[in-house]
Amino acid sequence: MPDSSPLVVCFGEGMVSLVPALAAPLEDSRTFHRSLAGAEWNTAIALASAGIRTAVVSRVGDDGFGRFLTAELRRHGVDDAAVEIDPDAPTGLYVKELAPRPDGAVDGTMHYYRAGSAAAGLSPQTLESPAASALLAEAALVHTSGITPALSPSARAAQESLFADRRPDRLLSFDVNWRPALWRGREEEGTALIADFARRSDVVFCSRPDAEAVFGAGDPDRLRALFPEPRYLLVTDPGGAVAFDGAERAESPALDVPVVETIGAGDAFAAGFLAGILTGLSLAGSLARGHRIATRALASTRDHVD
């Protein structure tokens, strides 16, 4: 990437995804393809593909899966200098189960194996490492999500410290990414925490189903009334998206393209929109760029663009 490009730092969990070669129940699946996954990592790769200098701050295990993930970041042009290697905890992974749909697409269900992973060890100290500190000092935008604070108390403390360190020359981007399994038994705590992070962000992404589950409202205008604080608010659904920049409002339908699977499309959409605002596109132009990049994630069972 050219050095003149703004730098985006994505903070969150990277995982290995094992995707079956065929749509079938897991007990009947014999062959799996390995792929990179993790909301912030997917967004980082899509940002790099859009010509934005991008880095990831995270942790992986000292194992083959961790080495695969960092190699994938580098292959896609993402800076992995601030990805710590945990000598003891493993890299998290999930197995995707695919079910065929009548329209020819597939539905994906994720089965997670992430408890005690290296990423659960994210902490304020992770952000204070020399590599992470240097990147954060230069970043024009930091992107994270509602997944990170659910991983562990130390990961929550890390995200809290990131939001506490507000800088006038750096935007904070937050994708709600509600994951009920991560908040099971503490749903009220989770919804309150995510609402707090959203109010303290400059850019907020939220799907309608997540908005209804977390905030009790899926209508974009109602959400804007509930969350006037972020400059940008994006509300997405399979049919399209509504974007707000202050009082300005733009709406755009999703592009009519063949869909293989939808997982990861929201991360790619976020990357496209962020690339738009960082390079001076209008609200409508940034929205259109988000849709264009999202179509690349819809074209495969991978979670990220390639």
Indicate the burial class of 102 (C-beta count within 10 angstroms; 0-12, 13-18, 19 or more).
exposed
Give the whole-angstrom CA distance, residue 44 versus residue 267.
9
148 pLDDT exceeds 90? yes
User: Which position has the higher pLDDT, 110 or 74?
Assistant: 74
Give the whole-angstrom CA distance, residue 184 versus residue 201.
25
Are 223 and 238 in contact, with CB atoms under 8 Å apart? no
Give the whole-angstrom CA distance, residue 21 versus residue 286.
35
How high is the pLDDT of residue 133? 97
Residue 108 lies in a domain: no
166 pLDDT exceeds 90? no
How high is the pLDDT of residue 108? 78
How high is the pLDDT of residue 266? 83
Percentage of the residues of the chain whose pLDDT score is greater than 90: 71
How high is the pLDDT of residue 188? 94
Residue 98 lies in a domain: no
Are 146 and 301 in contact, with CB atoms under 8 Å apart? no
Q: Over the stretch 2-43, which tens digit does the pLDDT of each residue have?
A: 567 899 999 999 999 998 888 889 999 999 999 999 999 999
Residue 247 lies in a domain: yes
How high is the pLDDT of residue 2? 53
User: Which position has the higher pLDDT, 251 or 104?
Assistant: 251
**Structure tokens belonging to residue 122:** 């994210």
143 pLDDT exceeds 80? yes
How many residues in total does the chain contain?
Answer: 306
- Kindly name the residue from 175, 210, 267, 303 that is annotated as catalytic: 267
User: pTM for the whole thing?
Assistant: 0.91
C-alpha distance from residue 217 to each of 146, 162, 224 (Å): 17, 27, 10
Enclosing domain of residue 239: 7-13+38-88+121-297
- Of 116-120, 289-293, 298-302, the least confident: 298-302
245 pLDDT exceeds 50? yes
Verify whether residue 267 is a known catalytic residue.
yes
H, E, C per residue of the chain: CCCCCCEEEEECCCEEEEEECCCECHHHCCCEEEEEECHHHHHHHHHHHCCCEEEEEEEEECCHHHHHHHHHHHHCCCEEEEEEEECCCCCCEEEEEEEECCCCCEEEEEEEECCCCHHHHCCHHHHHCHHHHHHHHHCCEEEEECCHHHHCHHHHHHHHHHHHCCCCCCEEEEECCCCHHHHCCCHHHHHHHHHHHHHCCCEEEEEHHHHHHHHCCCCHHHHHHHCCCCCEEEEEECCEEEEEECCEEEEEECCCCCCCCCCCHHHHHHHHHHHHHHCCCCHHHHHHHHHHHHHHHCCCCCCCCC
Residue 248 lies in a domain: yes
301 pLDDT exceeds 50? no
How high is the pLDDT of residue 299? 47
Q: If pLDDT is split at 50, 70 and 90, which confidence band does 105 have?
A: confident
Give the whole-angstrom CA distance, residue 198 versus residue 39.
17
Strand ranges inside 42-105, DSSP E:
53-61, 79-86, 93-100
Q: If pLDDT is split at 50, 70 and 90, which confidence band does 305 have?
A: low
**Structure tokens belonging to residue 208:** 């309608």
Average pLDDT of 189-196? 96
Q: Residue type for 193, please?
A: L
CATH number at residue 245: 3.40.1190.20
Q: Over the stretch 252-299, which tens digit does the pLDDT of each residue have?
A: 887 655 444 345 578 888 999 999 999 999 999 999 888 888 776 544
Strand ranges inside 12-127, DSSP E:
15-20, 32-37, 53-61, 79-86, 93-100, 106-113
Q: Residue type for 194, please?
A: I
Residue 18 lies in a domain: no
Q: Over the stretch 198-234, which tens digit does the pLDDT of each residue have?
A: 999 999 999 999 999 999 999 999 999 999 999 999 9
Q: How many domains, the chain?
A: 1
Q: Over the stretch 55-89, which tens digit does the pLDDT of each residue have?
A: 999 999 999 999 999 999 999 999 999 999 999 99
Residue 93 lies in a domain: no
How high is the pLDDT of residue 260? 43
Residue 304 lies in a domain: no
Residue 75 lies in a domain: yes
Name every residue whose Cβ is closer than 8 Å to that of residue 237 and which is 6 or more positions away in sequence: 207, 208, 209
Assign 254 to helix, strand or coil.
coil
